[in-house]
Amino acid sequence: MVRVETVDYTVRGEQMVGHLAVDDSSTGPRPAVLVCHEGSGLDEHAKERAERLAGLGYAAFALDYHGGGRRLERDQMMPRIQSLRTDVDWTRELAATGLSLLPERTPADPARVAAIGYCFGGTMALELARSGADIAAVVGFHSGLATNRPAVAGDVKAAVLVCIGADDPLVPPEQRAEFEQEMRTAGVDWRMNVYGGAMHSFTNPKADMPAQGIAYHRPTDERSWRAMLDFFDERFAL
């Protein structure tokens, strides 16, 4: 039976409202996953992913990086996201604080912890990896790959998987190539899955703006989820 719980916490004095999901029918330490939501805010998409993971035996916590668990309209979202892109320390602190709640609030096995994210949440998960966080795996779904503070050789402990739509205008081939070079230079255990026919936000059933390159793509949603689970099985078995 999956238990869901609202978790209030603060980052730099700002009130955050996260979403915890744990299956209490089993006991003992278990793999744990931090979930970072899309740019519009902590919504049913991120909460559903956390609960789905809990149903598979993971402890999961969907953080909040806008404050108050709120959703933002585009005119509010873009300045917020730009601020986070510019202030990498802030982005990493938001992620690290969410990560710290997993062992505090769940029966997380510290050797089997991952972070995943969607859209800018994927960027946030990647910044957590770049920061040298002691986690086993990071997965970004249709995530922005650029950073103003590239990974440093020897710092990244997590293995990295990014799942990108081939037709995503927000993550063009040039950005993918720069990310590949960054990962090589830093000596990261990384992989990139590029899915034909998929645009931005391919995991979100409510994404429906194909003229802007944003659309749900069920085959890629399902394939990337399976890729993540295979990745976790590999990393958590080490």
3-class secondary structure for the chain?
Answer: CEEEEEEEEEECCEEEEEEEEEECCCCCCEEEEEEECCCCECCHHHHHHHHHHHHCCCEEEECCCCCCCCECCHHHHHHHHHHHHHCHHHHHHHHHHHHHHHHHHCCEEEEEEEEEEECHHHHHHHHHHHCCCCCCEEEEECCCCCCCCCCCCCCCCCEEEEEEECCCCCCCHHHHHHHHHHHHHHCCCEEEEEECCCCECCCCCCCEEHHHCEECCHHHHHHHHHHHHHHHHHHHCC
Instruction: Kindly state the average pLDDT of the residues 17-37.
Output: 95
pLDDT score at 27: 86
Instruction: Kindly state the average pLDDT of the residues 68-93.
Output: 93
For residue 238, is pLDDT > 90?
Answer: no
CATH of the domain at 134: 3.40.50.1820
Q: How many domains does the chain have?
A: 1
pLDDT band at 208 (very low <50, low <70, confident <90, very high): very high
pLDDT score at 73: 86
Residue 57, domain extent: 2-236
